[in-house]
Amino acid sequence: MKVSREQMSENRRRILEVASRLFRDKGFDAVSVAEVMKAAGLTHGGFYGHFASKDDLIAQTLAHVLALDADGGGDFRAYVDDYLAPRHRDNAAGGCPTAGLAAAIRHQSPATRAAMTQGLRSQIDRIGEALPKVDAADKRRVAIGSWAAMVGAVILARAIDDPALSDEVLEQTRAWVDAGIDQASAT
Where is average pLDDT lowest: 75-89, 131-145, 152-166? 131-145
pLDDT at 88 over 80: yes
- As a whole number of angstroms, the distance between CA 88 and CA 15 comes to 23
pLDDT at 44 over 60: yes
Please, what is the Cα angle at 65 between 81 and 12, to 5 degrees?
Answer: 150
- As a whole number of angstroms, the distance between CA 103 and CA 51 comes to 24
What structural domains and CATH numbers belong to the chain?
Answer: 5-64 (1.10.10.60), 71-186 (1.10.357.10)
Most distant pair of Cα atoms in the chain: their distance: 65
- As a whole number of angstroms, the distance between CA 9 and CA 121 comes to 27
